[in-house]
Amino acid sequence: MRGERATLGKSLLDVQRELKIRATYIAAIENADPTAFETPGFIAGYVRSYARYLGLDPEWAYRRFCEEGNFATVHGMNAAAAAPNAPSRRKGTEGRDPLADPNAIFVPRGEAFLSRIEPGAIGSLTVLLGLMAVLGYGGWTVLQQIQQVRLSPLDQQPGLLADVDPLAAADQTVIAEAPVTPPTTEALDRLYRPQALDRPVMVPRDGPIATLDPGEIGVLVSDRPDNHRLATAATAVAPEAQPGMPAPVQVVAAARLPELAIIAARPAWVRVSAADGSVLFEKILDAGESYVLPETDQAPTLRAGNSGAVYFAVNGQTYGPAAPGAQVAKNIELSADALKGRFQLADVAADPDLAVALAQNEAGAGSQ
């Protein structure tokens, strides 16, 4: 039976859980030990049930159990079957739970604590502890020697201290004869105060900064013979100042008319694209509204709707329109030379809206 149970891969606790029979009874059946049962009348039922569980013949298994364990069938009416303390029991097993016995044959045995310790590990641990102790003692000894201060008594004063100032006697005679006057507080203050803080030195400039020529003053002075001529020319072109007044300095460049602009005589949609395809300006220009083109390396292009209302201002002159009527104008190069070669001067008298737009632009430029 033990072999059949091992073939099924079952333990005593697995059989106990499935058959509802104590593991001690299962072990007693496999060992043919009828004394482990508290009630001999249930032995036959236990043996037959266990034999059916293992797939054996129940009658054959019970007969073999009786032969090997010297057990005779006990009926339920027999007094020996009902006795709680049958004489056939093993001595010392009355009233004891077999599962509480740590030495039960079906309970798995764990490894002892000493069996996990290897002799090699003990030796390595001993060597490590000894090395730590030696290093600790050596460090403590060195620390004590470093912190230790030794004082040695001297009978004579060191020669260096004795001969620090050999002329001290001669100096004492001179000092005793000359009167000593302590310095005043003002003298000591003057010693550590710079003269520039007491009275700053003011260096006047020759003229306004705008009239200074870097080529004539400072480290930028060159040895060119025309430096004097350039300075004289710069003074000649400067506006004359009134008597007693400094010459005015021009700090803002003179205003000039835009080189190229788009003017809408009537509402028109325009889109200005750069040479790389990016959109610089896109809007519906109202009547009289204009757009000044920025200065770029490559000329942008124009795409406009209601092109009959779109004109171009090139250096103060008006050209156009972009196309007759209300059609869409495409790929118009916005450069002064291209516009002058493609379009003619606009007829302001033929388009009254254009005259109004030009008047508005001139009024806006004058106000700015």
d(CA 31, CA 105): 11
Q: What three-state secondary structure class fits 254?
A: coil
Q: Is residue 301 within 8 Å of 331, Cβ to Cβ? A: yes
pLDDT for the residue numbered 199: 60
Residues of the chain with CATH 1.10.260: 2-100
- Alpha-carbon distance of 259 to 113, in angstroms, equals 102
Q: How much of the chain, in percent, has pLDDT values that exceed 90?
A: 7
**What pLDDT, on the 0 to 100 scale, is given for residue 270?**
92
Say how many C-beta atoms besides its own lie within 10 A of residue 65's C-beta.
Answer: 25
pLDDT at 106 over 90: no
The phi, psi pair for 303, rounded to 5°, reads -130, 120
b/e sequence 243-253, b meaning 16+ C-beta within 10 Å? eeeeeeeeeee
At 241 the pLDDT is 46
Give the Cα separation of 293 and 305 in Å (integer): 18
Q: Per residue, what are the HEC states of 94-131? A: CCCCHHHCCCCCCCCCCCCCHHHCCHHHHHHHHHHHHH
Tell me the pTM.
Answer: 0.33
pLDDT in tens, 166-206: 555 555 555 555 567 777 777 776 666 655 555 666 666 56
- Architecture of the domain whose range is 2-100: Orthogonal Bundle (1.10)
What average pLDDT score do residues 127-136 get? 95
